[in-house]
Amino acid sequence: QQQVKQSPQSLIVQKGGISIINCAYENTAFDYFPWYQQFPGKGPALLIAIRPDVSEKKEGRFTISFNKSAKQFSLHIMDSQPGDSATYFCAARFPGNTPLVFGKGTRLSVIA
Amino acid sequence: ETGVTQSPTHLIKTRGQQVTLRCSSQSGHNTVSWYQQALGQGPQFIFQYYREEENGRGNFPPRFSGLQFPNYSSELNVNALELDDSALYLCASSPGGAVADTQYFGPGTRLTVL
């Protein structure tokens, strides 16, 4: 049973456009939802994270929108750039010092 | 501040062999988690160590084992390697305790089993 479902699997966006990646989770006990960015041959790097008591969080060009009732959250990348081309993972975590549960990833390509 | 480091970068083994992967956690972090990332997939949790004790384990067989040392560095050992063990192995460290949210990943070790 996949606890965190991510879509789409791949995404192509024009430079300057908005990239949107969606995730849905099963367990309402999750209380922390990060997004990671991974370049080929590198480990995942934390991009932005949110807790369920907040509906939106913005850091620079990256925004997380969180819908607690729908058990969904999404990553929006504004003014997408070729340097944003990478694989993006959503994740969820139970309270405390617990491991991350990852989605399967979205491969983003930003074309000029 | 030194980030999470892993060694070796790449490793090639044959089926049935044993392998040890190493991880140095970020300064001040007492929790290390190991993940397996198969090609085209998200990382899957293997186990976590907190202050030298195993603090949770994912759905991996006992031939996956680990250690955490007093300086909070860690090892992942895999015995009786199988072809399906070929993957990127990621180590992540976090502060643990009350500030347990953010996990910082190392660059990974790419293991190929032939």
Tens-place pLDDT, residues B48-77:
999 999 989 999 999 999 999 999 999 999
Average pLDDT over residues B74-97: 94
- The beta strands (E) that lie in A9-105 are given as 10-14, 19-25, 33-38, 45-50, 56-59, 62-67, 72-77, 86-93, 100-102
User: Does A101 score more than 90 pLDDT?
Assistant: yes
Interface of A with B (CB under 8 A): 6, 32, 34, 36, 41-46, 49, 89, 91, 93, 96-105
- CB–CB contact A99 B45 (8 Å): yes
Cβ–Cβ contact B44 with A under 8 A: yes
Is pLDDT of B98 > 70? Answer: no
pLDDT tops 80 at residue B96: no
The pLDDT score that the predictor gives to residue B1 is 52
pLDDT of residue B101: 67
B105 and A43 in contact by Cβ < 8 A?
Answer: yes
What's the distance, Cα to Cα, between the start and end of chain A in Å?
Answer: 38
Q: Which residues of A touch B100 (CB under 8 A)?
A: 96-98
B1 vs A98: which has the higher pLDDT: A98
Q: How confident is the model at residue B99 (pLDDT cuts 50, 70, 90)?
A: low
Query: Which pLDDT score is estimated for B46?
Result: 97
Give the distance from residue B17's alpha carbon to the nearest chain A alpha carbon, in angstroms: 24
pLDDT of residue A98: 87
Nearest CA to CA, how far is B3 from chain A (Å)? 11
Residue B31 touches chain A, beta carbons under 8 Å: yes
Instruction: For tokens 């892993």, name the residue.
Output: B6
For the segment A53-69, the average pLDDT, to the nearest whole number, is: 96
pLDDT for the residue numbered A97: 82
Query: How many C-beta neighbours within 10 Å does residue A38 have?
Result: 23
Q: Which of chain A's residues have a Cβ under 8 Å away from the Cβ of B98? A: none
Mean pLDDT of A45-73: 95
- Closest approach of chain A CAs to the CA of B35, in angstroms? 9
